[in-house]
Amino acid sequence: MLDLIIIGSGSAGLSAAIYGIRANLKLLVIEKEFEGTGQVALSSKVDNYLGLPGLDGYSMGEQFREHAVNFGVEFLEASVTEISKDDNSKIFTVKTSKGEVYEAKAVIYAAGAVHRHLDVPGEDEFASKGVSYCATCDGAFYRGKTTAVVGGGDTALDDALYLSALCEKVYLIHRRDEFRAAEITVKRVKEKANIELVLNSQVEEILGNDRVNAVKLVGGKTIDIDGIFIAAGSVPVSKVVEGVADLNPAGYIIADENGITSTPGFFAAGDVRTKTLRQVVTAVSDGACAATAAAHYIESL
Ligand SMILES: Cc1cc2nc3c(=O)[nH]c(=O)nc-3n(C[C@H](O)[C@H](O)[C@H](O)COP(=O)(O)OP(=O)(O)OC[C@H]3O[C@@H](n4cnc5c(N)ncnc54)[C@H](O)[C@@H]3O)c2cc1C
């Protein structure tokens, strides 16, 4: 029997693991991807994490992980498919895609969030054939070419800036006439000569033959492109938590800053929980707080 199972090895899960193991908890981290570090790995440069300015996201994730490995944290590569709690014994049972079953006194759920799809014709058809959700991963394939970025938040504008250094031309397609991104980022985008803003516009269809060659906007306008990067926000990975703890209408797990949910012993940390700022620093903080709260909970049993 484990004290604690941590689901997810992103910034929140890894931070929870370090705090959990230092609290002498017998714990296991279950991670969907082999030696994954979650979304942080997708960031070209994390410039807002205290004390580590300018570090690329991949290296930051590797450092987080190495810290946990060096502290003796054990990892299991599998996807969690089911979580349940026995109300009498108060024991949690966690099942994985590989058929394994683990029991623990407490669970920290830190499965993060994934990219939101536009759900337009051509999006699935041309996935990895010109449709991408990660500029830092795929941008280099479009050196000297023309791309479009869809979205109006920090990620979309960051992507447009990143691509503007590689591509001949970048169209930034946004459905409103104002951006949700930080002022400084908006200013930098507006100053880039090869970024063209396509405002008050929505994608109707992504067109191509064997690869993307154009994007059609609602209203009929078509723009020729070689690739399209979709940065339209994210959705929480919380399907498996339905019936385990309360979710808000958008699917985020309702939890406070200590990760405490509607189910005693079940904690939520990182991007998957209700909060206003979803960043590395808040995910790391969440992991620390949730592991500390979990240790107190286990002690109280
Ligand atoms: C392109 C991009 C750029 C960003 N730039 C910045 C930045 O500059 N600064 C900043 O502070 N933040 C940035 N962010 C946001 C930041 O990366 C996230 O807020 C943070 O990484 C969230 O961490 P997390 O641990 O909550 O979730 P994630 O990082 O999403 O980790 C969740 C983990 O859980 C795993 N998982 C999911 N489901 C299961 C399952 N069923 N079983 C087992 N494991 C599962 C996933 O594989 C993943 O590894 C950026 C995000 C993106 C996408």
Tell me which of 3.40.50.280, 3.40.50.300, 3.10.310.10, 3.50.50.60 is the CATH number of domain 2-114+234-300.
3.50.50.60
Tell me which of 3.30.70.2190, 3.50.50.60, 3.40.50.300, 2.30.30.90 is the CATH number of domain 117-230.
3.50.50.60
**What pLDDT does 44 receive?**
72
Instruction: Give span(s): CATH 3.50.50.60, the chain.
Output: 2-114+234-300, 117-230
Ligand 1 residue neighbourhood (C-beta within 6 Å): 7-13, 30-33, 36, 38-40, 42-43, 46, 48-49, 79-80, 110-113, 155, 237, 240, 270-271, 278-281, 283
**What pLDDT does 272 receive?**
98
Cα(63) to centroid of ligand 1, in Å?
A: 15
* 162 contact partners, CB below 8 Å, separation of at least 6: 44, 135, 136, 139
Write out the two tokens for 107.
């669970």
Which atom of ligand 1 is closest in space to residue 114's alpha carbon?
30
**What pLDDT does 276 receive?**
84
The pTM of this model reads: 0.84
What is the per-residue pLDDT across 166-191, written as a single tens digit (0 to 9) for each? 999 999 999 999 999 889 999 999 99
pLDDT per residue rounded down to tens, the chain (301 residues): 999 999 999 999 999 999 999 999 999 999 999 999 999 988 777 888 999 988 988 999 999 999 999 999 999 999 999 999 999 999 999 999 999 999 999 999 999 999 899 999 999 999 889 999 888 778 989 999 999 999 999 889 999 999 999 999 999 999 999 999 889 999 999 999 999 999 999 999 999 999 999 999 999 999 999 999 999 988 999 999 999 999 999 999 999 999 999 999 999 999 999 998 888 999 999 999 999 999 999 999 9
**What pLDDT does 16 receive?**
98
Nearest CA owner, ligand 1 atom 2? 43
**What pLDDT does 42 receive?**
80
